[in-house]
Structure 1
Amino acid sequence: MLISGGRKNIIKRAKKQALDWLTGLLLILIIAGCTKNESLNAAGSTTVLPIVVLAAERFKALHGVNVIVNAGGSGVGINQLGEGKIAIGMISRNISDAEIKRYPNVNFVVHSIGKDAVVPVVSSEIYDAGIKSLSLRQIGKIYLGEITSWKQLGGPDKDILVIDKEKSRGTRHVFMEIVLGDKEVSAPGADLVLGDNNEEQTAVMQSDSAIGMLSNAWLNSDVKGLSIILQNGSTVEPKLENISNGRFPITRDLLLVTSGEPAGNIKAFIDFILSDEGQKIVRDSGYVSLEQ
């Protein structure tokens, strides 16, 4: 069967259009695949979480890279990084020797992004009743169960509701290391053992006789931070200035940790947090930036 020249041209154009359509579809699928892969995961400390969440939103707007952020505590961040489940661990304490030994093939590289204080906090009712400062020794006795009533400290005749944190939490590690000299010490005086900052903040707010430990950024009108009475009798308030200059005795670095030196989007994201804009996010989140 003979096909006229005009019909041949029509068939040729149809084939070209089909080829162009398939090429375009393939290009769309490739781009979609690349976009889908333009993401990274971070998990860990609920103290570091607010910084990373805000930075992730801004970073995505600037670079189109999605940073998926989950909490769980510093221990979760380290373990998930060690197991290769995430790209960035968020931690608010040092990595322990046991954790380093658990993952011998992982080179944990730590990146400081700001500073914070772990503050002994009380219900506003206790603060307003006159308990505005305690010594580290007094706080330690509360957690050991040796002081059980606020009356023993010059406060109201109420039993102390003692709130502890899970042992994997960075906030607890730092607090107990300074208060009792052992980051993993048991606290027989504790009535509640909670997880993240939000849980503990809520528990202190709902009680009229509680004591707990929180990041400085989580204080509010119902959760009051205590000043620390030093050995010389002077007191230090949990203010940003005293965190920055190191006068407040329970301070810590806020950290991101990677497996090896970061590259690509991981490096770009950490660099963003270290930039002027990223450090402003640190300050806006209630923490001390690196340049303060």
Structure 2
Amino acid sequence: MHRFITPFFLISGLMMSSCSDKKPTLKITGSTTVNLAVAEAAEALRGESDTKIFVDTQGGSSGGITAIGEGTADIGMASKPLTKSDRDRFPGVDLKVTQIGADAVALVVNADVWKGGVKSLTRKQVQAIYEKKITNWKDVGGADEAIVFYNKEPGRGTWEVFANYAYGSADKAPEVSHPEVGANEETRTKVATTPGAISQLSMAWADNETVYALNLTDNDDASVAATGSNIASGKYPMSRPLNLITRGEPTGKAKVLVDYMLSEPGQKLMEKHGYLPLSRLK
């Protein structure tokens, strides 16, 4: 699946124009998951606008929410629902959420784990692996191989969705030391190149060639695959909204981009990058 990611140096170069350049600037920051479609939308809008658009993924979803709460960005990108604690961090700030699509978080494994026989995990097995109570794939039906768990770094929406599935709430997840990964591309590369590896990853990045997405159990203990229909229905237990966040209702240039993402061209970008458009969620 082709994915368009605007090179950082090209975007930042637009921001380094001469001081005499008085073009308005639109700053967007946050989730690497939401960034795929938004960065491509920004490219399209640059060609028909007098606005300089700066897109980055500093700090993931948490960074995007913080930037809006502190007023240092115009649009935040978040690949998770906003929680009460997110809002409580910024009293008096109206964090307006606009959903532009949906995604799922997968637990992905290295090809050797998949080919060794591990295709699905139960919630209890996920907890035991995360807490290092299970440290070898043979204990969950796989080959005799050590488990290497790459954990998403703090602030990533992907980790919060995973923790909500495994423990019912991110606040209930125990503190466990694992090597950490950040953006989706880094996560996929680490898992693909590390024998015995597993991590949490946006489903759109699970190509089932270099990394493989495991089925998970739902509340009825049935094994559920991360298919479009299961994500849309909410049956898959790690589904999540993809959001744009603004301070109050979006206005000006921010509204132009938000409206674009809700339009037919923007929704086609969501599908292009492997996400569910809003029409699939009705």
Q: TM-score, normalised by structure 1?
A: 0.84
Counterpart in 1 of 2:167? 180
Note if contact 2:24-2:52 (Cα within 8 Å) is conserved in structure 1.
yes
Partner secondary structure for residue 22 of structure 2: helix
Note if contact 1:176-1:183 (Cα within 8 Å) is conserved in structure 2.
yes
Counterpart in 2 of 1:245? 233
The Cα shift of 1:89 comes to 0.4
Cα distance in structure 1, aligned partners of 2:266 and 2:230: 22
Cα distance in structure 2, aligned partners of 1:123 and 1:177: 24
Counterpart in 2 of 1:195? 182
- Deviation string 1:231-288 (CA, Å, 9 cap, x unpaired) is 5453211122221222211100000000011111111110010000100000001100
Counterpart in 2 of 1:274? 262
Cα distance in structure 2, aligned partners of 1:35 and 1:277: 29
Note if contact 1:122-1:223 (Cα within 8 Å) is conserved in structure 2.
yes
Q: 2:99 aligns with which of 95, 104, 112?
A: 112
The Cα shift of 1:229 comes to 3.0
Note if contact 1:89-1:258 (Cα within 8 Å) is conserved in structure 2.
yes
Counterpart in 1 of 2:78? 91
Structure 1 stretches lacking a partner, 5+ long: 1-31
With over 3 angstroms needed to count, the CA separation of the structure-2 counterparts of 1:215 and 1:160, relative to structure 1, is: same
- Deviation string 1:145-176 (CA, Å, 9 cap, x unpaired) is 11111010111111100111122111101110
Q: 1:258 aligns with which of 246, 252, 266?
A: 246
With over 3 angstroms needed to count, the CA separation of the structure-2 counterparts of 1:177 and 1:282, relative to structure 1, is: same
Counterpart in 2 of 1:16? none
Partner secondary structure for residue 200 of structure 1: helix
Counterpart in 1 of 2:54? 68
Counterpart in 2 of 1:208? 195
Structure 2 stretches lacking a partner, 5+ long: 1-17
Of stretches 111-120 and 65-74 in structure 1, the one that deviates more from structure 2 is 65-74
Q: RMSD of aligned C-alpha atoms?
A: 1.8
Cα distance in structure 2, aligned partners of 1:34 and 1:232: 62
With over 3 angstroms needed to count, the CA separation of the structure-2 counterparts of 1:233 and 1:78, relative to structure 1, is: closer
Counterpart in 2 of 1:36? 22
Residue identity matched to 1:46: T
Identity within the alignment, %: 36
Counterpart in 2 of 1:287? 275
Q: TM-score, normalised by structure 2?
A: 0.87
Partner secondary structure for residue 255 of structure 1: strand
With over 3 angstroms needed to count, the CA separation of the structure-2 counterparts of 1:240 and 1:35, relative to structure 1, is: farther
Counterpart in 2 of 1:80? 67
Note if contact 1:164-1:187 (Cα within 8 Å) is conserved in structure 2.
no
Residue identity matched to 2:222: S
Cα distance in structure 2, aligned partners of 1:34 and 1:71: 28
Counterpart in 2 of 1:164? 151
